[in-house]
Every structure is written in structure tokens, then in C-alpha cells.
């Protein structure tokens, strides 16, 4: 993989998976624009990237606000003169079942994930077309295929991202634009840490989440960034409209790791 001469936009690039992705794309030679609502975190990320000799810039925007995304995307494209890669990654985690979820929480979750991706792709694609084509990677989730309890809005939003990605892949294939999803399992980021902190014992919570994965641990942001970079690169030139699950084997065991560890079905340990 090499990305010399490429320009990339990463939404939610100030922290977590987006931050690791910005770094990875920079290391591969891309010039990177971070679009994020968290200016403080973004400035720190940009400073760290520039300190290590990379070319990166920050445009503050809330992905739920169309005018802000439009302006930020236009500013990034004007600055670098092209756009070849979009990583639509900004997201939030919210909890509730269909009864306890308020309309406001439903709207907030759907707005950040679904409307945010709609806005980012809507304003990135014309710039990609003007640049001769490009690659879009949408950060979805294992919850695009399955569900965890008490997370109906998040699960619905992540399912919807598969549909947006497939539609883009189909609508723009003839114009040299590819679109794919990366679907992570649990990844050690500020988002996951915040969720864990809401429980009485965060370290115990993180450890038990780790054990749900066949590899026995939570993933690192750079491990997701590697997959994103591959799908964004020319090495993935015949891959479009699909999803790459990056979950340390979370979705593999029938009945979950607890069932596996019980020994039932092994024929030996029962």
C-alpha cells in the first residue's frame, strides 16, 4: 500500500479509530484532513502528526449539520486541491431498548451515524469525481449484522450504514468510486472506555468484553486503521460494496465464547 499524492478526509479523526486512521494514511504518504467536532482533541492529533513530519489539517464540523460538512469539505478540498479518499467514521454510542429510547436519543444516534455519513459522502463524492475517482470507507460495526441488548438506535444506525455503502458502490462504480464498510468488534478507544466507566468496575468490564473475542482481547485502533487503509488503497481496486469484519473472531463462535468455553459441543470436555 502506498498513498503518495492522495488526499484523504477522515471524519471523527480526532480520536480513537479515526485518529489511528489519520496516522496510518499519513504514514502511507497521503495528505489528510480531519473533520471533527472536537477541536481540542483534533488540534492535539494534528500537532502530533505534523511533529512526526506528516501533512495534516483540521476543519471543525458537526457531521449532523449539512452546512458545516459542506463548508469543511470545501475548505479541505480547496486546501489540498483534490480528494481521493473519504473515511466516514464519526460516531457515538447510545443505549436504550425500543421502549426506553426517547425520540431525542433516537434522532441523535441516527443523525450522527446515518445522516453524518450521508452528508460526508454527499459532499465528498463530487470532489472525488473531479479528482478522477476515489475510495470511501464507512466505519460500521459488528452490530451492522448482529445486535447487543439495550442498543436499538445504535444497532439500527449501523445496519443502515451497510445500505448507504452498497447504494454508493452501485451508483458510482462506473465513475471509478468504490465504497466499502469496515466492521470492528470492541476496540480500545475513548468511546469504549467511556462505556466501561459507566459500570462499577471498568477494568473487569473491558476484560470480559475482551474474552468475547476468539482472540481473547479487545482490538487496538491501529488494527482497524490497517483494514481501513487497505480498502482505501489501490490494492483493493476490485473490492466494492462489501464489508470487512475486523473483530478478532467475535462473530465466529456459535453461541458465543461462553458456550465454547463451557465445552458443550467439543465432544471431549462435556
For ligand NDP, the binding residues (CB under 6 A) are 12, 14-18, 36-38, 41, 62-64, 89-92, 112, 116, 139, 141, 184, 186-187, 189-192
Q: Nearest approach, Cβ of 107 to ligand NDP (angstroms)?
A: 12
Query: Least CB distance from residue 36 to ligand NDP, whole Å?
Result: 4
Question: Which cell is 186 given?
Answer: 470492541
191 or 252: whose CB is closer to ligand NDP?
A: 191
Give the number of residues written for the chain.
270
What does 101-149 look like in DSSP terms, one character per residue?
A: --HHHHHHHHIIIIIHHHHHHHHHHHHHHHTT-EEEEEE--GGGTS--T
Active-site pick, 59, 80, 123, 154: 154
Grid cell at residue 68: 458545516
**Nearest approach, Cβ of residue 40 and ligand NDP (Å):** 9
Between 3 and 137, whose beta carbon lies closer to ligand NDP? 137
Q: What share of the chain is helix, strand, coil (3-state, %, to 5)?
A: 50, 15, 35
CB of 64 or CB of 233, closer to ligand NDP: 64
59 is catalytic: no
Do residues 13 and 76 lie in contact, with contact meaning Cβ atoms separated by under 8 Å? no
Shortest distance, position 190 Cβ to ligand NDP, whole Å: 4
When the beta carbons of 45 and 131 are compared against ligand NDP, the nearer one is: 45
DSSP state for residue 5 in the 8-state scheme: T
Angle at 98 between CA 94 and CA 99, to 5 degrees: 110
Distance CA 125, CA 117 (A): 12
Q: Which residues are catalytic?
A: 154
Amino acid at each position: 500500500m502506498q498513498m503518495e499524492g492522495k488526499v484523504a478526509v477522515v471524519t471523527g479523526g480526532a480520536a480513537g479509530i479515526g485518529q489511528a486512521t489519520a496516522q496510518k494514511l499519513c504514514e502511507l504518504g497521503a495528505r489528510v484532513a480531519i473533520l471533527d467536532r472536537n477541536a481540542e482533541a483534533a488540534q492535539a492529533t494534528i500537532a502530533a502528526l505534523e511533529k512526526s513530519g506528516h501533512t495534516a489539517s483540521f476543519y471543525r464540523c458537526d457531521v449532523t449539520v449539512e452546512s458545516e460538512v459542506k463548508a469543511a469539505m470545501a475548505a479541505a478540498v480547496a486546501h489540498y486541491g483534490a480528494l481521493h479518499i473519504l473515511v466516514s467514521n464519526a460516531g457515538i454510542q447510545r443505549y436504550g431498548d425500543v421502549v426506553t429510547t426517547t425520540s431525542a436519543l433516537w434522532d441523535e444516534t441516527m443523525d450522527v451515524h446515518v445522516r453524518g455519513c450521508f452528508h460526508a459522502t454527499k459532499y465528498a463524492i463530487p470532489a472525488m469525481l473531479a479528482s478522477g475517482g476515489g475510495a470511501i470507507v464507512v466505519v460500521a460495526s459488528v452490530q451492522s449484522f448482529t445486535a447487543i441488548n439495550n442498543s436499538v438506535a445504535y444497532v439500527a444506525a449501523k445496519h443502515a450504514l451497510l445500505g448507504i455503502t452498497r447504494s454508493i458502490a452501485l451508483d458510482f462504480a462506473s465513475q471509478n468510486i468504490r465504497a466499502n464498510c469496515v466492521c470492528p468488534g470492541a476496540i480500545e478507544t475513548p468511546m469504549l472506555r467511556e462505556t466501561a466507566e459507566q459500570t462499577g468496575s471498568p477494568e473487569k468490564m473491558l476484560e470480559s468484553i475482551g474474552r468475547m473475542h476468539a482472540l481473547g482481547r479487545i482490538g487496538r485502533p491501529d488494527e482497524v486503521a490497517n483494514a481501513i487503509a487497505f480498502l482505501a488503497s489501490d490494492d483493493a481496486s476490485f473490492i466494492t460494496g462489501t464489508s470487512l469484519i475486523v473483530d478478532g473472531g467475535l462473530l465466529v463462535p456459535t453461541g458465543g465464547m461462553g458456550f465454547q468455553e463451557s465445552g458443550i459441543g467439543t465432544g471431549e470436555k462435556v
